A and B are shown apart, each in its own frame.
Chain A
Amino acid sequence: MSEIAPSTKIAAGDADMSGRQDAPLPLGVCLQKGVMNWLANRWPTITAAIGCIVLWQSVITVFSVPTFMAPAPLEVLAALRDNAGVLWTNLLPTLMEALAGFFFGNLAAILLAVWFVHNSNAEKAFYPIAVFIKSIPIIALAPILVLIFGNGVAPKIIIAGLICFFPTLVNMVQGLRSASPAMLDLMRVLSASQMEILWKVRLPASMPFLFAALRIAATSCVMGAIVAEWIGSSFGLGALIIEATYNFRSPLLYATVMIAAALAVTLFSIVSLAEKKIVRWKTSNH
């Protein structure tokens, strides 16, 4: 049941409750109930998605759009199957770059935010620089980094990291400052050290803010890695997109885009799940 139910909170809750009130139901019944609940909650989404695909297929058929211009869903599906190997080998480097960028970009942002909150001079010195870097379009930055770091994974990780960096920095500074003055007074009365205030008050208080940023970062790090792969790269989903475009292999192009989207959605779901596990208290700002 755990494979299906957790995707909807309500469905899982209902299944739990029925299990507690009556005699424990057989697993098969529980499973069926979980699926039914899931369907009951998600049918508008599912119907809309199927509707879009049907519409897409019928537009292609009715107007007889050539495949190189826009492939039909079935052709994309076929491309996914035929190119599974190529897609997989190119997914791995992109995934690795996105994850590394996510990790280092957010880590740097969190550490910098902690420094800023404890040292206003550091904030005055570096915040404007952070804003300046943020305002350079990432696409314009990619060639510069490729020139410096070459064709390897380094420029891709840096771009994926940079894209995560700024939203997390802003949110984290705000989050660390969100601890109420009364809480800080309380910690002072308890003679708590700065370190204790950071660990016991500021960091927990910042969690909702951090996760709001991490959810953005989860999708944008994939985008950063792909954009970086557009420029003189021979591997990764980004390179595959460029190659498929230039060779008019539209079904492969669409299949690659689907995989990239699936990757972003997966990372987003993982972050959301972690948020649900960690931020259990009610927060006023989310």
Chain B
Amino acid sequence: MAAGLAKEHTPMDAAFCAPAVSIRNLDIRFGSGASQFTALSKVSVDIPQGGFVTMLGPSGCGKSTLLRCVADLVPISGGTVSVNGQTPRQAREGRDFAFVFQEATLLPWRTVIDNVRLPLEVGRHGPGSSYADPAQLLDMVGLKGRENALPDELSGGQRQRVAIARALVTRPRILLMDEPFGALDEITRDKLNEELLRLWQETGTTILFVTHSIPEAVFLGQHVLMLQSHPGRVKEFLKVDLPFPRSLKIRDTLEFVKITAHLRALLEEC
């Protein structure tokens, strides 16, 4: 499964161990003139190859903006962003990353399997691109047998699983997720968290994951990137010293509670 899903990483990557995403002195400003608004200011951070980084911060501090900037959805005002050594635009056109939104954003007129196929039907495809099998992906996210259902017929959690399968179909090396489980109930969220961790370990995909939940950030992340607002900047880049594979029980350990308490205190300062 692991080899089947991840793109083969070239030896070059391993040799240099270059970060998957490298952000240097990033500035993002919206608007112009008097109404100009600085969303992000002098942000520098490296997301390691194959790493799982979760992003926390007060509402409006620029988490989504940072993620959207990596995905080439927001133009850069200053500084550099490099995704696998390329500009965000090149990375987007080369299908280096996939994006999972807070809403599943499935096309309601397409069946589940056709939604998963969508990335294969649009955009440019390099000659060497190899893609995952949509049916197999649906099986992996636990939706075998629902291939021909319409999105309306699924629950919120199931829809988000379809969105994740759709993101994985191009075998992206980087997965950008903006509060993907934010609209789900806690039980579903816990289940999907565990599945996401398993998936990450199986595929070796780099994941950058925005969340509002401190426990979720600590449970999932190898690192937690904490942003603060006015203007948006890095507050802390914290390594989470908890062993993998992690199970939900880890949240009851003293280590886990200590880290969440620390992050909560940090968040209050922001």
A residues apposed to B, CB below 8 Å: 180, 182-183, 185-193, 196, 200-201, 204, 207, 279-283
Contacts and interface: CB of A to CB of B under 8 A. Distances in A.
Contacts of B72: 188-189
**Which among B71, B98, B103, B109 has the highest number of chain A CB atoms within 10 Å?**
B109
Given A185-B73, A196-B123, A191 B93 contact: yes
Contact of B152 (A182, A190, A282): A282
B122 A192 contact: yes
B95 to A, nearest CB: 8
10 contacts: A182-B105, A186-B105, A189-B71, A189-B92, A191-B95, A191-B122, A191-B124, A196-B121, A196-B122, A282-B152
A198 to B, nearest CB: 11
Contacts of B68: 185
Contacts of A188: 72-73, 92
Contacts of A185: 68, 73, 99, 101, 105
B214 interface: no
B86 to A, nearest CB: 13
A contact face: mostly helix, strand, loop, or mixed = helix
B242 interface: no
Contacts of A182: 101, 103, 105
Contacts of B99: 185-186, 189
A200 B121 CA distance: 9
Given A186-B99, A282-B152, A204 B109 contact: yes
A200 B107 contact: yes
A281 B109 contact: yes
A183 B105 CA distance: 6
B interface bracket (residues with beta carbon within 8 Å of A): 20 to 34
B150 interface: yes
A186 to B, nearest CB: 5
Contact of A280 (B109, B121, B124): B109
B89 to A, nearest CB: 9
Interface of B: 68, 71-73, 92-93, 95, 97-99, 101, 103, 105, 107-109, 118-119, 121-124, 150-152
A192 B123 contact: yes
Given A185-B99, A281-B150, A190 B109 contact: no
B149 to A, nearest CB: 11
Nearest to B120: A190
A281 B108 contact: yes
Contacts of A200: 107, 118, 121-122
Nearest to A182: B105
Contact of B122 (A183, A187, A207, A280): A187
Contacts of B124: 191
A191 B150 contact: no
A16 to B, nearest CB: 18
A187 to B, nearest CB: 7
A192 B73 CA distance: 13
Contact of B107 (A183, A193, A279, A282): A183
Contacts of B71: 189
B73 A280 contact: no
A193 B107 CA distance: 17
